[in-house]
Amino acid sequence: MAFYEDISPKTVSLIRTAVEMGMYNTNHFFRVDKGFVAQTQDVVYGRLLPLNPDQKAAVERVIPLEVYPQVKHNKRGILSLARTDDPNSGGTSFSVLLGPAPHLDMQYTIFGEVTYGIETLDRLEGLETRTEGIFVMPLKRITIQSTYTYIATNDSNSGGGRSRELCSYVLEDLYYRYKSVVQDLQKFREGALP
């Protein structure tokens, strides 16, 4: 996915923080409505592992609606922030458009798009579903195992130095997150096993 930092800075900041802190790990897509959206559960309610105190503190804020007339829900792969009836109630639940949805324009914050792995959306749409109220939900849980971020660079004058620097930074971050997940899993095991 690529984020639209210039268009939705507050939303991108929250989602990036959630990804970098590993909050989507063990979360899931609770909704898969063919031709419309695949939606993640909010990390507070959707994870198999409990949030640690730092993660809880990071998602206590809500995000106001960030919309611009030129940014549209016009194609497959657009990322759109979920919210309640209050337009300024965005959290960590988001949708990936499975088709154009112009009725969402100016109602929901668009914060990015899928840039790689679009075929995964085809696989999601092929799953068996059931309808519960207004939601079309997969019969089996679609768990997000792990997430990560990286910074792309087009700096051709760096001789690879900048790329190595970014790679080292990303690896350090991933190692830190790995250690955090190991600790979370151990706490979960201790609470679940005799």
- Span 22-72, pLDDT tens digits: 999 999 999 999 999 999 999 999 999 999 999 999 988 899 999 999 999
φ and ψ at 2, to 5 degrees?
-115, 135
Q: What was the pLDDT predicted at 179?
A: 73
Residue 182 has a pLDDT of 75
- Give the DSSP per-residue string, 53-120: HHHHHHTSS-B-----TT----STTEEEE---SSTT-B-S-EEEESS--GGGTTTS-EEEE--S-THH
According to DSSP, residue 139 is labeled: S
Q: Along the chain (194 residues), what's the average pLDDT of each consecutive run of 10 residues?
A: 93 94 94 97 94 91 93 97 96 97 97 92 95 94 86 53 50 68 76 73
HSE (side-chain half, CA atoms, 13 Å) at 153: 15
Question: 143 pairs with which residues across the strands?
Answer: 28
Phi, psi of 150 (to 5 degrees): -150, 160
> How many angstroms separate the CA atoms of 59 and 91, rounded?
7
Query: Residue 94 pairs with which residues in a beta bridge?
Result: 81
What are the structure tokens assigned to 49, written together?
């592992």
* pTM of the predicted structure, to 2 decimals: 0.79
The most distant pair of C-alpha atoms in the chain lies apart, rounded to whole Å, by 58
Q: What is the pLDDT of residue 160?
A: 46
Q: What are the pLDDT digits (tens) for 15-31?
A: 999 998 999 999 999 99
CA within 13 Å, CB half, 47? 20
